[in-house]
């Protein structure tokens, strides 16, 4: 399984930037128990810079959760589907234009 540790620093963050004062860390573990142990190492670090969320002052973590990934999204498959839909729409538009041109030419030469 894949696990992530999500952390929120105290306060509102640095400058209202999206994602500021937040951190996501992939935990390289196999079980939830190992994820909890690993998360504790992040939350109780030996070095204070782990508490630095770049907010200009020393921050502490006010909330943390472990997320277990149960399903991954195949993003490339979604993009390919989007490309296919876009190509189909462009083809329909071209067909409408071509038919209009055909009708115009048909009237002209009939």
> DSSP letter string over 3-59?
EEEEEEESSS-SSS-TTTTEEEEEE--SSHHHHHHHHHHHHS-SSGGGG--SSSS--
Q: What is the pLDDT of residues 59-91, one digit of tens each?
A: 567 789 999 999 989 999 999 999 999 999 999
pTM tops 0.85: no
**Confidence at 32, pLDDT banded by 50, 70, 90:** very high
Contact 11, 63 (CB under 8 A): no
In whole angstroms, how far apart are CA 2 and each of 31, 40, 68? 9, 17, 6
Q: What is the pLDDT of residues 4-18, one digit of tens each?
A: 999 887 766 666 666
């Amino acid at each position: 399984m894949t696990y992530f540790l999500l952390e929120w620093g105290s306060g509102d963050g640095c400058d209202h930037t999206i994602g500021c004062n937040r951190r996501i860390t992939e935990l390289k573990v196999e079980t939830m128990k190992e994820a909890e142990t690993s998360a504790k190492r992040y939350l109780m670090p030996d070095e204070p810079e782990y508490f630095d969320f770049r907010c200009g002052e020393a921050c502490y973590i006010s909330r943390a959760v472990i997320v277990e990934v149960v399903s991954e999204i195949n993003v490339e498959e979604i993009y390919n589907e989007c490309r296919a839909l876009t190509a189909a729409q462009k083809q329909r538009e071209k067909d409408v234009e071509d038919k209009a041109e055909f009708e115009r030419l048909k009237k002209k030469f009939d």
